[in-house]
A and B are shown apart, each in its own frame.
Chain A
């Protein structure tokens, strides 16, 4: 593009303007070529790197501009009027909503009064940073109940942005705190309420949810006891490829239950697939390579919690006056085939 009339072209990811024949501008190449991604006159030009290529000034943006953004490139030759060129501005096609809530745990339709957290799993990655206006608990009359959740800016997502952890406000769950005394627990025994996710929540590609999500629940009594492995029932597998079944008296935290259990044979850990059933009161552990006759053990990690945050040997909020300060611990349950 040497010589001739001043012009700006898009060259792959870069913008190329010319001709520039003299020494570099006093204030750097950004004085010669700037690309703007906003109509706001106060907005700065895009970040990027300038270079000279023979008689051209080349600007490579730090990030590839979004296609729907209209770009205004301004070239100011050393001697002559500025040249402006427009690029991009291709409207993003309207996306048909397809993302939906595919899983809510706890799965049961009775939730304990001191339920500590929910997991909401979506069919596709979601937009981060805008969860709270779209999640609410409704009372029996359909009115939104405020102050339910820990609405932190840093939403607690999994690495893919598909599963959101929603914590009920622990200040209202934990006994003895001001909010627990004055406001009561977020959920009250006997109440019927509904978790509602509205469809205006957008996925990572900008589309709304395909449909709202609702789960009606009844609030049951609180779970205040530590987990006790003596209450768990192991059913040995019916065949070499069948799962080991473990039944629990109350639902376990769905995320922790899937990673807190291991099956061992001697010191060796057996590769198992873990699944939950019966509203997270049943764990199924299926070996990748079948069972052999012999002695095994089921090991539970101390991180295991039920849906109210109770651990093995230590409840979520312990009355230290009555029970001291017991430690949460793991457990090992033998079984034989």
Chain B
């Protein structure tokens, strides 16, 4: 264990006893490295899965995912939650964050679904990994003296962007956002310090606003973050700006309809054009035409419900909760159909 100021990074190879307190967000870094966001535990784990070979067919179809997972874990479907998934771009295998148990005392684990449909558990102890602690958390002891420590952080999304693990969080108390950009590989001096993310409403009103979901996106060859706040659809944020202690203002480039929030996004290229596929809370799946996305200026005035980047709504896709890219032409969708949750492979529209 190495300590450096306000940050602790653990390097561990095969020590036993990894206990995820939560696993709300998954993503991959290059080389089959699975990133696991544990907001409750105040940590991000990076697992070197070694899963870097693609074996033939990549289509994944799993009907009644929660039922299958419940069967694996010896319980009933109503005791299973699947907060997030990530496709390993190197192997095409799907990694699932799974909670076994109905309440806050659930056990958290990572399952791996192969294209064959076989589901196995990622051995969190045996898989080489590094950990970074997220700093700027309130002093739990101090809070405890006032009764119970009730504050929690939830990681709403994380991703690997240009050498950094970017972590978006939301607290159950203060509204202020906690975005972090942590250089990867994690080292002893790695800092997971918070960056203040602000959101301006059309040049007039500003708030310190949490980010809900984001993707890495290149503008003129430079990686940026394309993000959705809890309060507005699409903003861009320069990765260079994400330094500890910085105050960063996102630039709004699109409004995508009233009362609508993106749940998940993927970027892809088809027939020489750039697109973003977006699963939404309220307006189905949208295919955003992203050619020349960098040329859309900031929206700085009051506007109608939709504005900026054009998009189509994909009628055939309903109930999509999560998306990830599977191949250059396909995506994996986690789809809620009634009570059931299915994993299905879709052609990129």
Contacts and interface: CB of A to CB of B under 8 A. Distances in A.
Our verdict on whether A and B bind, yes or no, reads yes
Interface of A: 36-38, 40, 42-47, 61-66, 68-69, 71, 116-117, 125-129, 147, 150-154, 156-161, 163, 165, 167, 169-171, 174-183, 202-206, 253, 255-256, 258-259, 271, 273-274, 303, 305, 309, 316-321, 325
A105 B202 CA distance: 32
21 contacts: A36-B71, A38-B70, A44-B119, A63-B74, A63-B107, A125-B105, A129-B81, A152-B230, A157-B152, A165-B172, A167-B230, A170-B207, A176-B205, A177-B202, A178-B304, A259-B138, A259-B151, A305-B175, A320-B200, A320-B204, A320-B205
B305 interface: yes
Contacts of A204: 101-105
B175 A40 contact: no
A71 to B, nearest CB: 8
B75 A37 contact: yes
Given A68-B76, A165-B173, A171-B232, A47 B121 contact: yes
B145 A177 contact: no
A69 B75 contact: yes
Contacts of A66: 74-76, 79
B174 A156 contact: no
Interface string B62-93: 01100110111111101101010000000000
A176 B24 contact: no
Contacts, number: 222
Given A154-B24, A158-B172, A317 B206 contact: yes
B74 A154 contact: no
Closest 4 CB pairs of A and B: A204-B103, A161-B104, A65-B74, A176-B201
Given A37-B75, A46-B71, A152 B170 contact: yes
B173 A255 contact: yes
A183 B121 contact: no
B129 interface: no
A175 B202 CA distance: 10
Contact of A303 (B105, B174, B261, B305): B174
Contacts of B75: 37, 63, 65-66, 69
